[in-house]
């Protein structure tokens, strides 16, 4: 499984959970992303190891100066989990309805990144200097 396919699956899961109003699915997805980011045991690398061959990420990348020895996909997973989980908690636990568009925007943006291969957040993270 490539990172591009993974982005598509994450975006689709977010949109399905929001449309069907399955709150536990959003919380589980946030916990899963945090687990992958903290332990660096990623679903994409596990499937590549099972297939016995590396699969390219499939995403647009530009070369930048590496300032931090921390993987950009791990930073992306942390960022998505915090933004998605934080906005979802604000909506459902604190009754702040102003941020309803953030989970929907993230779902469509991540799904679009999986389809197009261009993830602006990942490009920004790499521009900041993560490998």
Summarised one tens digit per residue, pLDDT across range 88-125 is 889 888 888 788 888 999 999 999 998 988 888 888 88
| CA–CA dist 27, 122 (Å, integer) | 22
The pTM (predicted TM-score) of the whole model is 0.85
For the chain, the average pLDDT equals 86
| pLDDT for the residue numbered 95 | 80
Query: How many domains is the chain built from?
Result: 1
- Beta carbons within 8 Å of 21's beta carbon, 6+ residues apart: none
Burial bucket for residue 102 (CB in 10 Å: 0-12, 13-18, 19+): middle
Give the residue numbers spanning the domain of 42: 3-128
Distance CA 57, CA 6 (A): 9
Q: Which residue ranges in the chain fall short of pLDDT 70?
A: 55-62
């Amino acid at each position: 499984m490539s990172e591009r396919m993974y982005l598509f699956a994450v975006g689709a899961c977010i949109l399905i959970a929001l449309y069907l109003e399955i709150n536990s699915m959003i919380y589980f997805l946030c916990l899963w992303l945090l687990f992958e980011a903290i332990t660096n045991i990623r679903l994409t690398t596990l499937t590549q190891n099972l297939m016995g061959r590396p699969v390219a990420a499939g995403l647009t990348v530009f070369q930048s100066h590496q300032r931090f020895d921390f993987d950009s996909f791990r930073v992306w997973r942390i960022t998505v989990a915090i933004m998605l989980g934080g906005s979802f908690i604000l909506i459902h636990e604190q009754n702040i309805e102003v941020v309803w568009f953030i989970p929907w925007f993230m779902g469509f943006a991540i799904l679009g990144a999986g389809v197009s291969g261009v993830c602006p957040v990942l490009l920004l993270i790499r521009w900041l200097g993560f490998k």
